[in-house]
Amino acid sequence: VIREGWIGDTATTVPVGIIDERTERLLRVTERALERAIGMAHQGRRLGDISAEIEEEATRNQLNVVREFVGHGVGRKLHEEPQIPNYGKRGSGPRLKAGMTLAIEPMINLGTGAVRLLDDGWTACTADGMPSAHFEHTVLITNEEPEILTWRGKTQLK
């Protein structure tokens, strides 16, 4: 999404057809990991707090995070610094500051965390063929609560 030269990044995983209970749980856990990670996106916290929250939610549920792809800063360009891995250590990394805009995007797999790129150089899939889920929002760090810029609730994109 581009508006007035600013970029917003968002993703959702939508099941097609009937899915089994394990895949349904994968979707719920991944979406919850995003919600919990956004809850860590407060001024003064560290980037590793966001990453750790994603990894801990996956691990608690016997799932694995994708390590090859990361969340990122977003603004005039789609991929800006800092990188936001789906794994990390609490209290590590740069401090979050009001005005930072982050694309937080947990990617969690039912099998191993390994992925591979197809021959087109763009399409990614799990290395073991197991289901994966990916949810993402662009979040603005403020002096108060984090603001989800790509939320499409009662109002459209802000």
Burial class (CB in 10 A: 0-12, 13-18, 19+), 53: buried
| pLDDT at residue number 2 | 78
Q: Is residue 51 part of a domain?
A: yes
Q: Which domain holds residue 130?
A: 2-148
Q: Is residue 45 part of a domain?
A: yes
| pLDDT at residue number 4 | 87
Q: Is residue 74 part of a domain?
A: yes
Q: How far apart are CA 59 and CA 65, in angstroms?
A: 8
| pLDDT at residue number 19 | 96
Could you report how far apart the first and last alpha carbons of the chain are, in Å? Answer: 11
| pLDDT at residue number 73 | 96
Per the structure, how many domains does the chain have? 1
| pLDDT at residue number 158 | 31
Low-confidence ranges of the chain (pLDDT < 70): 153-158
Q: Is residue 155 part of a domain?
A: no
Tokens of residue 142, six digits? 């403020």
- Residues near 54 by Cβ (< 8 Å), separated by ≥ 6? 33, 34, 36, 37, 65, 86, 87, 106, 108
CATH of the domain at 37: 3.90.230.10
Q: What is the pTM of this model?
A: 0.91
Q: Is residue 140 part of a domain?
A: yes
Q: Is residue 158 part of a domain?
A: no
